[in-house]
Amino acid sequence: MDTSSIHAVMLDLDGVLHIGNAAIPGAIETVDLLRVRGISCRFVTNTSTLSRDSLQKKILSMGFYVTPEEIISAPEATLKYLERLGDPVCHFLLADDVKKDFSHFRQSKTNAEYIVVGDIGERWNYAVMNEVFSNLKRGAKLITMHKNRFWQTEQGLQLDIGSFIAGLEYAAGVEAMIMGKPSVDFFKIALADLGLPASEVLMVGDDIDSDIGGAQKAGIRGILVRTGKYREDYFQASDIRPAEVLDSVNDLPGLLGLVNY
C-alpha cells in the first residue's frame, strides 16, 4: 500500500486508542509520533455519552494530547445540523452531559418535529420506545447520532443503540438520519476541517461497518485494527475490505514508513 501521499489520519477513539479508561499499549506514543512527523490527526468518534469538553478531559487523563478542535464527534455533527435548521422543536434522548449542549433548542415530548437519539444506557425501556414511536407516527423525523450494533467495553461486547433504532424504524415505517459514522457527510466534515482531499487521508478504526465502510464511501482509505470490537468472524463475513488490517494502532507508524520509538 502506497502511503507516500498521506498527510493526515482520522482515528477512532474507543477500541482504537483506548478501551474504557485504559490506553491501548503504544497508542499514546503512536499519536505523538504522528504529530512529530507532521501528520495531522482528527479524532472521529460516535461516542454520544460525553460532551466534547468531557471527552477531551477523558482522553487527556489517559495521557494523550488532544485539543477540543481536533475532536469530531457525532453529537457535534448533530448540533451543527440542528442549528442549520433554525429553531426546530426537538425531543432529546441523550445522556445528561451531552443534552446540556442542546438546551437552547425548543423541546417537547409530545409535539416534536425531530426525535434526536444518542446513548442513554439503562434508560431504554418499553415506555421510552413507545413515546418515540408515537411521535414518529405523528410525523416527527428520527435523527440518531449513530447506529452501531455493539461496542467493546472492559466487560466485553455490549449491545449498542443500533438495535433500538432499527426497531423504531421497523415499527414506524421510517428511516433514521445518521449523523455520525458511517455517514458520508460526517467524514466530509472531517475532511473539510483538515482542508485535505480524501486521497491524502487515512481512517483507522475497529468497526468494519462504521469506520471502514463509511470512510470508503467518502473516498478515504480505511485501516482496520484487531483491537476493540474487532472480531475475526464478523470481519470475514463482511463484504467490506479495508486497505490494510493491523494488529493495533501501534503498527500504523510502520505502515506509514515512520520510525517508531
> Residue 65 falls within a domain, yes or no?
no
Share of the chain above pLDDT 90, in %: 88
Q: Are residues 81 and 172 in the same domain?
A: yes
Query: Distance of CA 45 to CAs 19, 91, 210, Å?
Result: 13, 23, 10
Residue 261 clears pLDDT 50, i.e. is over it: no
Question: Residues 82-99: what's their mean pLDDT?
Answer: 94
For 157-212, how does the pLDDT look when each residue is reduced to its tens digit (9 = 90+)? 888 889 999 999 999 999 999 999 999 999 999 999 999 999 999 999 999 999 99
Q: Given 124, 152, 178, which residue is the final one in a domain?
A: 178
pLDDT score at 31: 97
pLDDT score at 25: 95
Do you find a cis peptide bond into 25, omega within 30 degrees of 0?
Answer: no
- What residues make up the domain containing 189? 8-46+181-255
Q: Are residues 196 and 172 in the same domain?
A: no
Q: Are residues 95 and 119 in the same domain?
A: yes
> Residue 261 falls within a domain, yes or no?
no
In degrees to the nearest 10, what's the CA dihedral of 158, 179, 182, 121? 0
- In the chain, the number of structural domains is 2
Q: Are residues 36 and 109 in the same domain?
A: no
The model's pTM is 0.86
Residue 154 clears pLDDT 80, i.e. is over it: no
Q: Are residues 157 and 121 in the same domain?
A: yes
Please provide the average confidence, as pLDDT, over all residues in the chain: 94
Q: Are residues 133 and 220 in the same domain?
A: no
Q: Are residues 196 and 169 in the same domain?
A: no
Between CA 215 and CA 202 the distance in angstroms is 8
Q: What CATH number has the domain bearing residue 28?
A: 3.40.50.1000
Q: Are residues 231 and 169 in the same domain?
A: no
Share of the chain above pLDDT 70, in %: 98
> Residue 144 falls within a domain, yes or no?
yes
Q: What confidence category does residue 3 fall into, taking pLDDT thresholds of 50, 70 and 90? A: confident
> Residue 161 falls within a domain, yes or no?
yes
Q: Are residues 132 and 219 in the same domain?
A: no
> Residue 135 falls within a domain, yes or no?
yes
pLDDT score at 260: 46
